[in-house]
Amino acid sequence: MIALAVAVILLVSCYLYGTRTFKYWEQRGVKHDKPKPFVGNNFLGFLFKKSMTQVANEMYWKYPNERVVGFFRATKPELIIRDPELAKRILITDFDYFYKRGFTHEKTVFEPLMQNLFFAEGDVWKLLRQRITPAFTSGKLKAMFPLIVERAEKLRARTMAAAVEGRPLDARDLMARFTTDFIGACGFGLDADTLSEEDSAFRKLGIKIFKLEVKDIIKIMLKQMFPDMFCNLKTWIRVQSDVDDLVGEILRKRNHKPIGRNDFIDQILECQMKGTMKGESIEKRRPDGSSEIATLDLDDGLIAAQVFVFFAAGFETSSSATSFTLHQLAYHPEVQKKVQDDIDRVLAKHGGKLSYDAVKEMTYLEWAFKEGMRMFPSLGFLLRKSTRPYHFPELNMTIDKNMKIIIPIQSFHNDPKYFPEPEVFRPERFDPEEFDSNNKYIYMPFGEGPRACIGTRLGLMQSLAGLAAILSSFTVEPAPETKRIPTVDPASSVVQSISGGLPLMFHQRKK
C-alpha cells in the first residue's frame, strides 16, 4: 500500500508539474488550444512532424478574429501575434522591451558560436551590430561583387552540363552550391568550388549545420520541457571544432590582418583592429536611469561566431528563396518570359556582363524574387522575447518578463486581407506604384526594425545575380518528378526547407 501511495503521489506531482502554467492564457482572456501535459501545444513540433512555421501558421488561421493567440511550448506560454500593428510595435516602437531574439534560455550555458549577430542578446548584440554594420555599406557590397560574378559563371557551367544531357537538376541543391561557393569566397576567402566538386567539404559543412541528429533532437526537447534542469546541454557542439579550425586557419594565413581582398574576413579583421567596442548599455542602467557603458573585445572566438552565422544564414536563406522562385517561374512561363526580357534588356545595355549596376537595374527580376519570398519566406516566423513586463492597452492584458513572441511571417504574407489572391504568383505586386505602403510591416522576409537582417542587401544582390546568370542562358520547366506544390520539410528549424528538393529541367535559350 505504501508503494502504491508513493507511486500515486509521484504521478500526481508529475502531472501538476507538467501542467503548472496552463491557466496562464485563460487568466488573461487570450484564446488558445487546450495544452497537453509536458508538451503543451507543441506535441507534433517535438516529434518534428510540424515545423514552428507550420505550427504558428495553423494557429493563425484557427483564430481568424483574434489579434493575439496563446500557445504553450512544453509548459512555457508564448504569444502569437496576428495583428500587424502589434507586430510593428514589438519590432520597432517598443523595441527596448523586445530587443532579445529569444532562441536561448536565460540560464543556458555559454556557447561560443551562439555569440553571433543573429543569436546574441543584449549588449553583445548591440556592440557587434554597431561595429559590423559598416561592413555592409553599398560601397563594400560593390567591391565584393566581382566574387559573385565568378561564382555565377561556374553556376552557368554546371547548369549547362545538365541541360546538354537533358537531365533534371535539383534547383535547391544547385542554388545551395552557388551560395555556398559565394560565401566561401566572400566570407572565408576560399575557393570552395562546390559547384564542381560533388563531395565538397564546404558543402558538407553547410549540410551538417542544418541536419539534426537524433541526439540533437533529444537535447532540444529536454531543454524546452525542462529548461532549468537541462540548460547546460550544448546545441552547436557538433560543428564548433569544424568552424574554429576553419576560421583559425584563415586568420593564421592572413596573419590576423586584412589583405585587401574585400571579403567578410577582411571586414571583420578591420573591425578587430579598431580595438575594444564601447557603447551605451541596452541592459544595465545607473541609479539615475542613464545607461552604463558596455565594452566588448572582438576576439577570435567572436570572429568565428560571426563567420559561422554569415555562412549558415547566408547560404540557407538565399538558396531556399532563389530555388523556390525558379520553381514558380517554371510553372509560369509568361512571367518567366518577362523576367528574361528584363535581364536581356539590362545586359545588352551593359555589354552582356553581369555587374553590380546591371543587377540593380533588373527591376522585374527583383519583383519576381520578392514575390517568391512572399509566397515562401525563408524565415517563416520572427521570434522576440520580452525583457520586462509589457502591457497591451487595447487587449487589457499584460505579459511577464521573458515571454516569447512569435510573429508568423508566412501567415501574414499569404493572408488575402493583405495580398489578394495570395496563391497567385504575380510579381507586379511589388511595382512601387501598386505596392501598398501599409504592407511594410506585413511583408518582412528579412525581418524589420533594429534586429532586421544586417545582410539584406548582400543577400538580395547575391540572389538576383544567381537568378540572372541562370535565366539569361536557360529556360526552366517542371521535370517529370516535380511536385506542383512542394512539400515543406516538417523538421525545418529557423529556415524553411523543402522535402525532396525542387527538381527542374533547364533548357538552353536560343537567342
- Average pLDDT value for residue range 139-147: 82
- Under 8 Å between Cβ of 504 and 330: yes
**82 Cβ partners below 8 Å, 6+ apart?**
60, 63, 66, 67, 68, 69, 408, 411
- pLDDT classification of 162: cutoffs 50, 70, 90: confident
DSSP 254-306: TTTS--S--SHHHHHHHHHHT-SEEEEEEEEE-TTSPEEEEEE---HHHHHHH
Rounded CA separation 118/317 (Å) = 13
**207 Cβ partners below 8 Å, 6+ apart?**
none
- Give phi and psi for 318, each to the nearest 5: -65, -40
Q: What is the pLDDT of residues 47-77, one digit of tens each?
A: 888 999 999 999 999 999 999 999 999 899 9
Rounded CA separation 243/208 (Å) = 11
Mean pLDDT of the chain: 87
- pLDDT classification of 171: cutoffs 50, 70, 90: very high
**Parallel/antiparallel/unpaired status of strands 382-385 and 404-407:** antiparallel
Domain positions in the chain: 42-502
Annotated binding residue 231: no
Q: What pLDDT shows up at residue 447? A: 92
**9 Cβ partners below 8 Å, 6+ apart?**
none
pLDDT at 220 over 60: yes
Dig out the grid coordinates for 252 from the structure: 593564421
Residue of 328 and 253 predicted with greater confidence: 328
Q: What is the pLDDT of residues 78-120, one digit of tens each?
A: 999 999 999 999 999 999 999 998 877 665 556 777 888 888 8
**CA torsion sign, 183 to 188 to 189 to 195?**
negative
CA-based nearest residue to 87, from 311, 345, 418: 418
Rounded CA separation 179/452 (Å) = 21
Residue 195 CA, chain-centre distance (Å), reads 23
**The residue to which cell 548582400 is assigned:** 458
Q: What pLDDT shows up at residue 209? A: 65
Which has the minimum average pLDDT: 79-83, 88-92, 208-212, 289-293?
208-212
**The residue to which cell 545551395 is assigned:** 176
β-bridge mates for residue 382, sequence order: 407
Q: What pLDDT shows up at residue 109? A: 56
Sheet holding 382-385, edge to edge: 68-73, 76-81, 404-407, 382-385
The answer to whether the predicted template modeling score (pTM) of the entire model surpasses 0.85 is yes
Rounded CA separation 218/216 (Å) = 5
- Under 8 Å between Cβ of 362 and 345: no
Rounded CA separation 239/205 (Å) = 8
Q: What DSSP designation does 7 have?
A: H
Per CATH, which fold does 42-502 belong to?
Answer: Cytochrome p450 (1.10.630)
Residue of 297 and 370 predicted with greater confidence: 370
